[in-house]
Homo-oligomer: A and B are copies of this chain.
Amino acid sequence: MSAIGVFDSGVGGLTVAREIIRQLPDENIVYFGDTARVPYGIKSPQTVIRFSIENILFLLKHDVKLICVACNTASSLALPVIRNNFRVPIIGVITPGAKEAVYASQNKRIGVIGTKGTIKSRTYEREIKQLDPKVKVTAAACPLFVPFVEEGWLSGEVVLSVARKYLKPLRQAGVDTVILGCTHYPLLKPVIQEVLGKGVILIDSAKQVAFEIKKILASEDLLNRGKGGRHKFYVSDNPEWFSSLAQRFMGKKLMNVRKVDNV
């Protein structure tokens, strides 16, 4: 009974795991959160690639049939380099998010927000331009958003004024669609929406990612025929902290989060 492997630098990927579970309730899932080395967003491509390979090798020990890189930074920096090194299909979160944004935008002005690593890599921009060269992309790194979410600062004047500062270039560019290019950002949706205005569409790629996974498993005849998938959660540090944050990201508590050394 092979599983879908999912990894992230920490807890953020749980927003993706939740959507996979919703769309594919009969699939087994093995999730790995690299909480000993979190965050990835401030680290170099070279280091994020090394960490990602180690995480993939960990998941491969657990009989996975497909791997989802549920982390925008790793998807941006590592996936283009390592995708073809492994036999299992590896799905990132960039292409699905880019597709949905291009589909949603009416005025062909799309905003992208993410970690420094994600924005600096310009991977979203390249993906969007490949889908539609006419789109104008405005990108902004929002490095304080992850600490805010992890500290539970999801609203209030402090978060609002930081958001106003970060999102100013997107407002000035008149974007009608914004990709939430970090799995933590969906938790700040109300704040981001307030700053950008109600008319702007916020793209959270989780749904589209789960849909792509479903399509690939179906086309390769890899869908689980059993009933009721089992879900295992591993972290490289702080299982209790991970469990407590899971409430925020998954909407439910996680029992039996196991600490492992992935390297």
Distance of A153 Cα from B144 Cα, bound (Å): 10
Query: By DSSP majority rule, is chain A's interface helix, strand, loop, or mixed?
Result: loop
Report the separation of the CA atoms of residues A4 and B150 in the bound assembly, to the nearest whole angstrom. Answer: 36
Q: A237 to B143, Cβ gap below 8 A?
A: no
A37: Cβ under 8 A from any B Cβ: yes
**CB distance A238 to B157 under 8 Å?**
no
List CB contacts (< 8 Å) of A25-43 with chain B: 35-38, 42-43
Q: Which of A46, A147, A238 has the most CB of B within 10 A?
A: A147
Q: Would A43 and B47 count as touching, CB distance under 8 A?
A: no
Decide if A158 touches B147 in the complex (CB within 8 Å).
no
Cβ contacts A230-263/B at 8 Å (1 or 0 each): 0000001110010000000000000000000001
B143 near A44 with CB under 8 A, answer no
List the B side residues contacting A121 at CB < 8 Å. none
A158:B162 contact, CB within 8 angstroms: yes
Nearest-CB distance from A49 to chain B (Å)?
A: 12
- Inter-chain contacts of A221 with B (CB < 8 A): none
Determine the chain B residues whose CB is within 8 A of the CB of A35 once the complex forms.
43
B158–A44 touching, CB < 8 Å = no
Which residues does chain B contribute within 8 Å of A158, judged by CB atoms? 158, 161-162
The reply on A151 being an interface residue by CB < 8 A is: yes
Tell me the minimal C-beta distance from A95 to chain B in angstroms: 27
Q: State A143–B147 Cα separation when bound (angstroms).
A: 8
Chain A residues with CB under 8 Å of chain B are 35-38, 42-44, 46-47, 143-144, 147-148, 150-151, 153, 157-158, 161-162, 236-238, 241, 263
A-B contact pairs, 16 of them (CB 8 A): A36-B47, A37-B37, A38-B42, A43-B238, A44-B237, A46-B237, A47-B236, A47-B238, A143-B150, A143-B151, A144-B144, A144-B147, A144-B153, A147-B147, A158-B161, A158-B162
